[in-house]
Amino acid sequence: MNRLLPNSAGIGLRAPHVTQVLAARPPVAWFEVHSENYFADGGQALAALDRIRADYPLSLHGVGLSLGSTDPLDLRHLAKLKRLADRVLPARVSEHLCWSSVNDRHFNDLLPLPYTSEALDHVCARVSQVQDFLGREILVENVSSYLTFPESTIPEYEFVVAVATRTGCGLLVDVNNIYVNARNHGIDADVYLAAIPPAMVAEIHLAGFDASGPCLIDTHGAPVAPDVWALYERALRRFGRVPTLIEWDTDIPEFAVLQREAATAQSYLEASLAVAA
């Protein structure tokens, strides 16, 4: 089954909730999982995913390909991703526009790129290589960041759009990441949204951040903030109705909390449809 993602609110499915979802089959429009958690040859996790994807549209979201790294693209990682995608036939395959390894050292962070023409050439070549290898279009996601590089010459939003323009990939627009970067770096979030052609946007992410320190940290460990819901509403006004995912990765709450967040996203989606009509 290779269903498209519905233009509805989905939930990022994490290990603590898999048993409950398999038992109760809750009414969730679609699920997204982290690809790397299912790279094993077999085992319980993959068997569970086979059952999930039989009942729900599924999206594969990568966190470890290190698309922007200067190391050679990890072809073993890519081969595992292709094997998984060929098995579960996801509606979407996405990765982050970032780097997370150098000189064969891997980090658990999605690190920002310098936004230069050289980095753009580099990352576009790698996105094309990934798409050729997988035999499908991927989505790339804008990341949150806590620093900028003095070498950057291109606004982040122009860089992100240029990657999609040059490679034909789609965009996974993380509205929370736009908000976090706008606050951390003094970018105008509405200018960012206005720069993105609606036709490129295939998916939206929403998550919560930590505001207790000197800058916003994208923890995926809190409810979506009111200002991010407001920005999401403006994003839907610009992009139209887009499949939207609730992500929660630290201090993972009861599944019902995620369902409530998804229900809120769904109400924004419904309202955007009413405005469009």
Q: Quick one: 32 or 123, whose CB is closer to Fe ion?
A: 32
Tokens of 167: 């490679």
Q: Write the CA distances from 266 to 21, 29, 86, 95, 198, integer angstroms.
A: 19, 10, 30, 24, 19
Distances in Å between the Cα of 58 and the Cα atoms of 3, 34, 61 are: 8, 11, 10
Note whether 92 binds Fe ion by CB under 5 A.
Answer: no
User: In this complex, which beta carbon is closest to Fe ion, that of residue 95 or of residue 104?
Assistant: 95
CB-count burial class (<10 Å; 0-12, 13-18, 19+) for 114 = middle
CB closer to Fe ion out of 95 and 174: 174
CB of 44 to Fe ion, least distance (A): 26
- The C-alpha atoms of residue 58 and residue 45 are separated, in whole angstroms, by 15
From the list 41-49, 174-182, 186-194, 259-267, the region that binds Fe ion by CB under 5 A is 174-182
* Stretch of 47-55, 100-108, 156-164, 204-212 contacting Fe ion, by CB under 5 A: 204-212
206, 225 in Cβ contact below 8 A?
no
Q: Name the residue nearer to Fe ion (CB basis): 174 or 261.
A: 174
Site string for Fe ion, 115-144 (x = CB under 5 A): ------------------------------
Q: How far is the CB of 86 from Fe ion (least distance, A)?
A: 24
Closest distance between Fe ion and the C-beta of residue 223, in Å?
15
Give Dmax (Cα) for the chain.
53
Q: How far is the CB of 13 from Fe ion (least distance, A)?
A: 14
Nearer to Fe ion, 46 or 183 (CB): 183
Closest CB to Fe ion: residue number: 205
Contact 268, 33 (CB under 8 A): no
Q: How far is the CB of 174 from Fe ion (least distance, A)?
A: 4
Q: Which range in 74-82, 170-178, 180-188, 258-266 contacts Fe ion by CB under 5 A? A: 170-178
Interface pick for Fe ion out of 95, 174, 203, 218 (rule CB under 5 A): 174
Q: Minimal distance in Å, beta carbon 205 to Fe ion?
A: 3
Size of the residue set binding Fe ion (CB under 5 A): 2
- How many other CB atoms are there within 10 angstroms of residue 205's CB atom? 23
What minimum distance in Å lies between the beta carbon of 247 and Fe ion? 5
Nearer of residues 7 and 153 to Fe ion, judged by Cβ: 7
Q: Report how far residue 127's alpha carbon sits from residue 110's, in angstroms, rounded to the nearest whole number.
A: 16
Dist. CA 117–CA 11, nearest whole Å: 35
Q: With respect to Fe ion, which residue has the nearer C-beta, 69 or 144? A: 144
If one asks whether residue 205 binds Fe ion (CB under 5 A), the answer comes out as: yes
Q: Residue 53: CB partners within 8 Å, gap ≥ 6?
A: 1, 88, 89, 90
Residue 217 DSSP class: B
| DSSP state letters, 76-100 | HHHHHHHHHHHHH--SEEEEESSEE
Q: Which residues would be at the binding site for Fe ion (CB under 5 A)?
A: 174, 205
